[in-house]
A and B are shown apart, each in its own frame.
Chain A
Amino acid sequence: MRSKTLDRLATLAQEKQPTARVVRISDGRETLVRPDRVEGDLDAPSDVIVAAREALRSDRSGMVPHGNERYFIHVHNPPRRMIIVGAVHISQPLVAMAREAGFDVTVIDPRGAFATVERFPDVTLMDDWPDDAMGALKLDTRTAVVTLTHDPKIDDPALAAAMHSPAFYIGALGSRKTHASRLIRLRDQGFDSRKLDRIHGPIGLNLGGRAPAEIAVSILAEALMTLHGGSVK
């Protein structure tokens, strides 16, 4: 590994940029593959680069053979994050489950009485308005945004900020009817169908459960399915 590559990996990690380092086993030559560009002096075959991008998405390092060569793809992904807007009942099991699944979780709720340390121990709590909070959080391709307040004053600005970001998952709690009127409001703010289609609403896989923990499972499952490019079989 070149010193230059080492320093570059450190910088990209600091900037939370997903990066795969591809190294050719025979001679140790390397290249850095990012979602939108390739940096480095190894001219890796295009299907190895495709495999590296797939590895970034699935968060899985591994060896790829190509011709007489073997390439190792090492995934350097920033931590996956979940931003939960609304310190509501569903948020409590969702926080616990998402953390168990490897997410760094942040809960945002401007209503001070909701987002209390007693209800949400050991989690980053922000009582700012979502647009301010989410600006500070710098949402990236490893971030999921979940809005749960049912209050358009809080949810809408959060969804707007999420649609402006490359977040991999955006989900909004609310019935089909609630979601339809939400889409009309957001369309009036200038969001086109391509942006609006990124919002999963009603949120979660249709598991049929109604209890907070059951809804939390359906939200987490949908977020993971989106992250890994999976499907309901």
Chain B
Amino acid sequence: MAATDVTSTIGPAETHEIIGQAQVWRRAKKGVAIATVVSTWGSSPRAIGSQLVVNSDGAFLGSVSGGCIEGAVVTEALDVIEDGKPRMLDFGVTDAQAWEVGLACGGKVEVFVERVGQ
């Protein structure tokens, strides 16, 4: 379970790496949130179940897209860590926008963000 102190790595991470990192941050008394791709429509670069774990310092591990919606997800995750309320984020893009946000052919991604440790 490779888990370093403060990493910010966009890239596919196995579920066990996400869980391991969340545990390390919890033990270090950091606030932690996990974002999960829960549904996709059209072509999406990351499969349902892909996750991003974020801590209260803004460090993160994993990915929920090709790298372009992570910024927005991390910002929301910090709010979730703050108030504890889970949120569903909806990223819908037209074909034209798709290029810019890295969703290959347009499509829709729903990302569920929840705090770890209620």
Contacts and interface: CB of A to CB of B under 8 A. Distances in A.
Interface of A: 1-3, 6-7, 9-10, 13, 23, 25, 27-28, 60-63, 72, 74-76
A1 B88 contact: no
B117 interface: yes
Contacts, number: 55
A23 B22 CA distance: 18
Contact of A10 (B23, B38, B49): B23
Interface of B: 15-16, 19-20, 22-23, 26, 34, 36, 38-39, 48-49, 86, 88, 110, 112, 114-118
Nearest to A26: B86
Contacts of A74: 36, 49
A62 B22 contact: no
The secondary structure that dominates the B interface is: mixed
Contacts of A1: 34, 114-118
A18 to B, nearest CB: 12
A10 B18 CA distance: 10
A211 to B, nearest CB: 34
Contacts of B112: 23, 25, 72
Contacts of B36: 72, 74
B19 A72 contact: no
11 contacts: A1-B116, A6-B19, A6-B22, A6-B23, A6-B26, A10-B20, A25-B112, A27-B86, A28-B86, A28-B114, A74-B49
